[in-house]
Amino acid sequence: MKAWKAKYKMNLNFNGYNFNIKPGDKLLFADDIFNLLPENIKKAFEQANIVLPPFYKGEPLNGKTLLVISQSAIGDALCMTPALREIKKKYPDMTLNVTISGKAKPVLEGLPYIDNLLPMPVPFKEVAKADYIVKVIEMVNTPQFDNLSLVDYYLWKLYIYKAEKEIPDILIDSNAYDEMKKAFDKIREASGGKKVLLFHYLASSIHRTLPPKLLKEIEDLIWDEYVPVVCSMPEEDITVETALDVYGIRAANLSVFMKDIKYFIASVALSDAVITSDTATLHIAAGLEKPTVVITGPIDAELRTSNYSTVIPLSPNYKGQICISPCMRHATEEPCIEAQIKRQFYSPCIESIPPKVVYFALKDAELLTQKNYEKPKSCIVCDFSGEIPLFEVINRSRVFECPSCGIHFTYPMKVMDYEEIYGKKHEDLLNFGYTAYDFYKDVKDEEEEINKWEKLPRFNVLLPILSQIPKGRLLYVGCSTGFFMLIARKFGFEVYGIEASEETVKIAKEKFKLNVIKAVSLDEIPEEYKGFYKVITAFEVLEHVHEPSKFLQNLYSLLDKDGILILSCSPFYKFENTARGYRKYKWWHNDYPPNHVTRWKPWSLHYAIKKAGFEQIHMFTEPLLPSTVFEGVNPLSFQLKTPDNKVVDIDLKTSSSIVSEILKPLFLNSRHLGNFQYVIATKGHSSINFEEIIKKAIKYSAVEIIWGRGDKA
């Protein structure tokens, strides 16, 4: 930002304000705002030498004046309000002044904690009055802005860090509300009392705009419950009527009523739910605590919604020719390059989201806004009794997080029908996520089957461990078609298996002549299976179990006095989750109910196994591998400037190779960042040095999976 001095008198209508400027007047401009001036107006200014007040660094503001220098679109301005509210609450006798664009000014007018709204550019005499300034302009494409939610960004800039309420303050104009209520009442009456869904598919850039065809497909899914309405602003409406006609969309188009932003806010307030790709609409809906689905392609949806408890973020799971979602391209940049390559108008990543997933997200958003619902009275693992907070709603289920042991668990528990999931007959998000069940059923002959499964990292890492533990009776709980039993038998174990699916039990028995029985729980196993075992394995079973503590105790009771449990489950802190934060509503995975009814942090799992009676507990994951890394980070193409000032273009493939090469030490030594979290637990004391074996197993497995055994002649 720079201060510019007027050379002569002028009347300037700019950025939503009328400026009466006299010769010598100084104005402080954001650089990008000054660049918007016509060239002849720019020449009417010369750069001025000024001394700015100090930047605010968290000092006490009692009796002081703070100037927040912003420009802000409507959504950005709304996201400032939690930070502005909190700082005025902390220092009630301060003076809080805020510069703002004329377009965004209406959403801040009337807020009691802002003392003065000033234009952008701001007269320097107003800047000079401030004891401190906060700069929140020229933010786009800065790393701070790109890696924080907007609400968090403003809290951080004002040294607040945590607000009591982190949703925007939305002022509803009573005249606009009364006028729009008449239209909404007529729509509800004509529809037979249906709920109203506000569908805002236009956004500030084509990157984020939803294809109108998606509205038609969603409309068909919701028609029995909702009547959709479109409320686009006048400058957007030129395309709306045509789109509705082309696709035969039945939504009521109320755009003609949208005289200004106040009428749009009133429309959101009168709606029962919102689906949007536009961030301003998102922030308005979140501030009004409406059930909301926000669909984003280029920007990580979690960045937009992490502060909002009534919003489901819906991101694509898209890998294109030159990009992986989210590409983090801003509205200020050129249209989607992937779309240009595919010769289409809308972003392919957004088009990849199935309409039914949007519908399921809407149903989950409705659950998020319910105030009264059944809550767990105690933790299913550590027996903590008290308030257990809701972590997320997904697939029409609530997932809670114990504040004592950290476990995630569904409540009420949904019972999984395993015959149904093997047959893909369920009607929920699991239809769209990858599940391994088809892969399990695609069996080869025994030698091929062993080779197939030994190459997978989650079983390859176990091979050195299997070679070092005493042989004897081994029970595989949740054995599927018996693939690991074949590996264990090769290592000299006498193998038994139990499985919940009749179909896979049949394959294990008939194809491989394995000793396998059908049982949904350990309570159902016959007497001949209740003998003591030297080893029990249970891979990706614990997260499916409705009574995990009882399950672990039963495993303990089935082991010999010096028996060993080898157990695995989905890792909470795998690299993807660590890199991105634990992303909610990852609909394309299956780490949610009714498939997974618990999620285990390392300490939650350690506590549960120790509580079941096991003495020695060793925890690790499969190795961190390049493919695992690229689930957590998106390599980007970029230009590299060499020491001799040459510019080298680094494409996506090359940048991926660079990342992979740099992380090579982690591939051989990472203990907890890989996919699939393992526990080796002993019943009683064991003389085996499992720590040494695990270190070697990770190293051996990483080398073999990434580079192979080098056995070619």
Contacts of 648 (CB under 8 A, 6+ apart): 639, 640, 641, 642
Q: Residue 155 is encoded by which pair of tokens?
A: 């809290």
Tell me, yes or no, whether 271 and 214 share the same domain: yes
**437-477 pLDDT tens trace:** 667 778 889 999 999 999 999 999 999 999 999 999 999 99
Whether pLDDT at 238 is above 70: no
Say what the pLDDT of residue 638 is: 79
Tell me, yes or no, whether 19 and 130 share the same domain: no
**100-109 pLDDT tens trace:** 999 999 999 9
**179-197 pLDDT tens trace:** 999 999 999 999 999 999 9
Tell me, yes or no, whether 359 and 508 share the same domain: no
In a domain, 383, yes or no: no
The 533-539 sheet, strands edge to edge: 516-518, 494-499, 473-477, 533-539, 559-569, 677-682, 616-621
Whether pLDDT at 15 is above 70: yes
Q: Residue 256 is encoded by which pair of tokens?
A: 């003609």
How many angstroms separate the CA atoms of 480 and 509, rounded?
11
Give the residues across from 598 on adjacent strands.
Answer: 409
Tell me, yes or no, whether 137 and 270 share the same domain: no
Share of the chain above pLDDT 70, in %: 97
Say what the pLDDT of residue 533 is: 95
Say what the pLDDT of residue 320 is: 83
Domain boundary residue among 351, 368, 385? 368
Tell me, yes or no, whether 461 and 565 share the same domain: yes
Mean pLDDT value of segment 48-57: 95
Tell me, yes or no, whether 607 and 540 share the same domain: yes
Say what the pLDDT of residue 332 is: 60
How many angstroms separate the CA atoms of 213 and 248, rounded?
9
600 secondary structure, DSSP code: B
Tell me, yes or no, whether 201 and 335 share the same domain: yes
Within 10 angstroms of residue 60's Cβ, the number of other Cβ atoms is 9
pLDDT greater at residue 619 or residue 527: 619
Could you list the residue range(s) of the whole structural domain that residue 11 is in?
A: 2-47
C-alpha closest to that of 322 among 625, 649, 624: 649
Q: Is 99:116 a contact under the CB 8 Å cutoff?
A: no
CATH number of 142's domain:
3.40.50.2000
Mean pLDDT value of segment 675-689: 95
pLDDT greater at residue 175 or residue 330: 175
**35-49 pLDDT tens trace:** 999 999 999 999 999
Say what the pLDDT of residue 211 is: 84
C-alpha closest to that of 202 among 275, 269, 277: 277
313 secondary structure, DSSP code: E
**428-441 pLDDT tens trace:** 898 887 767 667 77
In a domain, 421, yes or no: no
In a domain, 469, yes or no: yes
In a domain, 182, yes or no: yes
Tell me, yes or no, whether 6 and 120 share the same domain: no
Give the residues across from 638 on adjacent strands.
Answer: 650
How many angstroms separate the CA atoms of 43 and 263, rounded?
39
Tell me, yes or no, whether 609 and 543 share the same domain: yes
Give the confidence band of 705 by pLDDT, cuts at 50, 70, 90. very high
C-alpha closest to that of 261 among 116, 122, 108: 108
In a domain, 414, yes or no: no
Domain boundary residue among 334, 368, 402? 368
Tell me, yes or no, whether 575 and 630 share the same domain: no
Contacts of 438 (CB under 8 A, 6+ apart): none
Contacts of 209 (CB under 8 A, 6+ apart): 201, 202, 203, 277, 346
C-alpha closest to that of 649 among 321, 322, 328, 324: 322
Grouping H, G, I as helix, E, B as strand and the rest as coil, residue 633 is coil
171 secondary structure, DSSP code: P
Tell me, yes or no, whether 637 and 681 share the same domain: no
Mean pLDDT of the chain, nearest integer: 91
Contacts of 44 (CB under 8 A, 6+ apart): 6, 7, 8, 10
Q: Is 648:639 a contact under the CB 8 Å cutoff?
A: yes
CATH number of 517's domain:
3.40.50.150
Tell me, yes or no, whether 41 and 69 share the same domain: no
Work out how many domains the chain is built from and give that number: 5
In a domain, 638, yes or no: yes
Contacts of 557 (CB under 8 A, 6+ apart): none
Looking at the chain, how many residues does it have? Answer: 713
The 195-200 sheet, strands edge to edge: 252-253, 226-230, 195-200, 273-276, 292-295, 311-314
In a domain, 41, yes or no: yes
Say what the pLDDT of residue 421 is: 64
Q: Is 484:453 a contact under the CB 8 Å cutoff?
A: yes
In a domain, 385, yes or no: no
